[in-house]
């Protein structure tokens, strides 16, 4: 299998390492030539993914910010040919998938929207790991939902990275759910750490603090782009959270133990319901 990776950050670098470990030949491209050279020296990348090599790939993974992924698809679309399956790995799907499918329809290649549900608070190739996707789900947005052969092809191409399952959804549903499961968590973590008390936490913090603040150590440029791309759904989640926080605050102000206990019990019950 020949795999092309565009963007050698945490996600792209981890794909390069995972596919190389699985025995695939990996070619890669990054805007920073020094990162590409380092990846080649590390052994997981065989060479640079040049324009003339795109058509030879079995799989092309675009692991960049959404706007950059769209530019790559529109610029390189005429060069893909009909052999590769082209999968973007961006954290939002509506705009990228809409434009990616339009380009694919025009130039006759297979494009699938994708989102690997794995990551860390760190970014960059130096933090990439071959096992990052082991046991994780991969979400895909295919151009057709009634084509079993297409879905089997994508599953076969993606599974060497170590995914436990492939989930199929629409771009709309992906962005609606991801606003809660990922984006809101990053936004809340960033806001939470801004408390003046954070600077005095040493000696007073344990697992709860670490869990709440882990993803505040994020890539600001990337997450700002993702938040804005999904701002309609994310604003709805923020408004919902603010409403619930106001309920807790009002119970505290009123010294209302009964209401506060009921609010906490409700949260616990929902957690038990949704996570088993």
Residues 134 and 198 in one domain: no
pLDDT of residue 203: 66
Mean pLDDT (the chain, rounded): 95
Question: Is the model more confident about 70 or about 120?
Answer: 70
pLDDT of residue 130: 97
Residues 23 and 156 in one domain: yes
Residue 178: CATH number of its domain: 1.10.3660.10
Residues 101 and 179 in one domain: no
Residues 12 and 137 in one domain: yes
* Domain end (from 109, 141, 169): 169
Residues 36 and 8 in one domain: yes
pLDDT band of 187, cuts 50, 70, 90: very high
Q: Note down the domain range covering 164.
A: 2-169
* Domain end (from 121, 141, 169): 169
User: Model confidence over 27-73: pLDDT tens digits?
Assistant: 999 999 999 999 999 999 999 999 999 999 999 999 999 999 999 99
What is the total count of domains within the chain?
A: 2
Residues 82 and 163 in one domain: yes
Residues 164 and 205 in one domain: no
Residues 60 and 109 in one domain: yes
* This prediction's pTM: 0.91
Question: Within a 13 Å sphere around the CA of 243, how many CA atoms are in the beta-carbon half?
Answer: 6
User: Model confidence over 199-228: pLDDT tens digits?
Assistant: 877 767 678 988 899 999 999 999 999 999
pLDDT of residue 200: 79
Residues 129 and 182 in one domain: no
241 phi/psi in degrees, rounded to 5: -65, -45
* Domain end (from 169, 184, 205): 169
- Contact assessment for residue 124 and residue 11, using Cβ atoms and an 8 Å cutoff: no
């Amino acid at each position: 299998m020949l795999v092309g990776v565009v963007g050698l950050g945490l996600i792209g670098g981890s794909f390069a390492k995972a596919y190389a470990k699985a025995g695939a030949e990996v070619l890669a491209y990054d805007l920073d030539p020094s990162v590409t050279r380092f990846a080649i020296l590390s052994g997981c990348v065989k060479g640079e993914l040049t324009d003339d090599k795109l058509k030879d790939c079995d799989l092309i993974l675009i692991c960049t910010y959404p706007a950059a992924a769209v530019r790559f698809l529109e610029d390189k679309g005429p060069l893909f040919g009909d052999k590769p399956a082209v999968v973007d790995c961006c954290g939002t799907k509506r705009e990228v998938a809409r434009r990616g499918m339009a380009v694919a329809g025009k130039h006759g290649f297979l494009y699938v929207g994708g989102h690997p549900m794995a990551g860390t608070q760190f970014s960059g190739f130096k933090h990439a790991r071959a096992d990052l996707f082991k046991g994780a789900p991969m979400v895909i947005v295919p151009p057709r939902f009634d084509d079993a052969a297409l879905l089997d092809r994508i599953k076969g191409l993606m599974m060497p990275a170590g995914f436990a399952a492939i989930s199929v959804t629409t771009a709309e549903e992906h962005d609606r759910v991801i606003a809660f499961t990922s984006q809101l968590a990053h936004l809340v973590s960033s806001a939470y750490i801004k408390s003046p008390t954070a600077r005095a936490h040493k000696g007073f913090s344990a697992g709860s603090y670490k869990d709440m603040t882990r993803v505040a150590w994020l890539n600001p440029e990337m997450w700002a782009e993702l938040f804005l791309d999904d701002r309609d759904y994310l604003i709805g989640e923020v408004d919902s959270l603010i409403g619930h926080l106001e309920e807790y605050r009002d119970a505290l102000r009123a010294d209302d133990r009964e209401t506060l206990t009921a609010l906490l019990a409700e949260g616990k019950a929902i957690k038990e319901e949704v996570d088993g």
